[in-house]
């Protein structure tokens, strides 16, 4: 899994049915690279999260028919910009 | 998922039957790296899209027998070059 | 999928039975990085191709028991070094 | 698999049920990039480990329903910073 | 698949049962990055090999229950440092 930070929501009105109506978040890694993760937890911008990729992302979404390759798996209790970039 | 931009169509007359007659698009990431994504939605050059990879790409294609590793999952409502590269 | 160019054949006399007797090609990406792809199509050096990775590579090989993680999926009709590196 | 070093534990009180109550560790690669791995072995900070990714990570967790994409597979008997970075 | 060179054996006395007693080798790519591959063939340091990743690695190991994400698939008949780095 990767340590990422939630940046903002992402709205895709025109989307595949296999993404259902699941919330998508833009997340960034410690280098500032942006990705899009499905959020089954309900995160807000600024939250430090762990993201789950590969086939596990579909199962983490609660239903393997949900076609995600990145899903937020949890909110980190204690993290800081310093730890991240060290 | 990744945020990418549709660059152009890609024609492969000589292709595997497992790609069926699905439309392929050249997409670029924020660094300008090019990939090829299957497009079940019907995008046009310039559209900002989210792309789905890993095994989810096959399911997102509408049929897991379609042998794609990258499929366009939706068109982003609001995005800009600035957000992308920041 | 990725846009790659066929460089040469690759001979591996001592190989796993799960690769059967399938042809392997050395392919390069636009940065010149080399990979090895299974070729079910019959490409020649210099051909511009799309390569399929992840679990889709096994299905693209014509038999999911073939243990490849990269398979050539088609030959691109029109491509050039310029488009590739732009 | 990758050679990584255990840095610290990671606590995520708010997490998906599909991660169960498994221990998570922050691990670093030789470039200092941080990832999060599920630890079925019981490692301590400083241990040199091999980490298993892709779908194998779920099976390595002892139950494929555990939604991890990185799992610690073993502790390396003899390794050193020098070998790692050479 | 990737072209890699076998560097040395890797001993992990404390390992998951899902890796069985399979031999592990440290392999390097042309940039000198190290990974760990399961070796069902019996390679020696210095051998040029192709490595198979993704879910195919488990099947290449001879048993999909073996939790590897990288498995040596064959020994390359003719390869050289020059071809590799060109």
**Arithmetic mean of pLDDT, E5-20:** 96
Q: What is the pTM of this model?
A: 0.96
Taking contacts as CB-CB distances below 8 angstroms, the residues of chain E near C56 are: none
Q: Which residues make Cβ contacts (< 8 Å) with residue A1, sequence separation at least 6?
A: A50, A51, A52, A53, A73, D24, D35, D36, D37, D38, D68, D69, D70
Residue A86 pLDDT grade (very low, low, confident, very high; cuts 50, 70, 90)? low
User: Can you give the pLDDT at residue E79?
Assistant: 92
* CB-CB neighbours of A41 under 10 Å: 19
Does the beta-carbon distance from A56 to D36 stay under 8 Å? no
CA-to-CA dists, residue C28 to A79, B21, C84, angstroms? 40, 26, 12
Does the beta-carbon distance from C53 to B69 stay under 8 Å? yes
Nearest-angstrom CA–CA distance, B84 and B29: 9
Report which secondary-structure segment, H or E, holds B58: helix B56-60
Pairs of residues, one from chain D and one from chain E, whose beta carbons lie less than 8 Å apart:
76
Q: pLDDT digits over B8-37, tens only? A: 999 999 999 999 999 999 999 999 999 999
User: Can you give the pLDDT at residue B86?
Assistant: 61
Name the closest residue on chain B to residue C86, using Cα atoms.
B32
Mutate to test the interface with B, among C76, C81, C82, C86 (most CBs of B within 10 A): C76
Domain ranges of chain E: 2-76
CA-to-CA dists, residue A17 to A14, A66, B74, B75, angstroms? 9, 9, 10, 13
User: Can you give the pLDDT at residue C86?
Assistant: 62
Taking contacts as CB-CB distances below 8 angstroms, the residues of chain D near A50 are: 10, 12, 15, 24, 36
Residue E86 pLDDT grade (very low, low, confident, very high; cuts 50, 70, 90)? low
CA-to-CA dists, residue D13 to B30, D10, D72, E39, angstroms? 34, 10, 21, 39
Min CA distance, E36 vs chain C (Å)? 17
Taking contacts as CB-CB distances below 8 angstroms, the residues of chain B near A54 are: 54-55
Name the closest residue on chain B to residue A16, using Cα atoms.
B73
Q: Which CATH number does the domain B2-76 belong to among 3.20.20.410, 3.40.920.10, 3.40.50.300, 2.40.50.220? A: 2.40.50.220
* pLDDT per residue of chain C (86 residues) written in tens, 0 to 9: 999 999 999 999 999 999 999 999 999 999 999 999 999 999 999 999 999 999 999 999 999 999 999 999 999 999 988 888 76
Does the beta-carbon distance from E69 to D53 stay under 8 Å? yes
* CB-CB neighbours of E46 under 10 Å: 9
Mutate to test the interface with D, among E4, E14, E63, E65 (most CBs of D within 10 A): E14
Q: pLDDT digits over B36-45, tens only? A: 999 999 999 9
Dihedral Cα D62, D65, D69, D73, nearest 10 deg: 0
CA-to-CA dists, residue B13 to B39, B61, C76, C80, E26, angstroms? 17, 19, 7, 16, 41
Min CA distance, B48 vs chain A (Å)? 10
């Amino acid at each position: 899994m990767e340590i990422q930070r939630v940046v903002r929501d992402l709205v895709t009105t025109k989307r595949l049915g296999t993404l259902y109506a699941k919330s998508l978040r833009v997340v960034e890694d410690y280098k500032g690279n942006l990705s899009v993760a499905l959020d089954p937890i309900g995160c807000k911008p600024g939250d430090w999260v762990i993201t789950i990729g590969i086939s596990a992302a579909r199962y983490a979404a609660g239903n393997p028919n949900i076609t995600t390759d990145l899903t937020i798996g949890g909110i980190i209790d204690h993290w800081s910009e310093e730890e991240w970039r060290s």
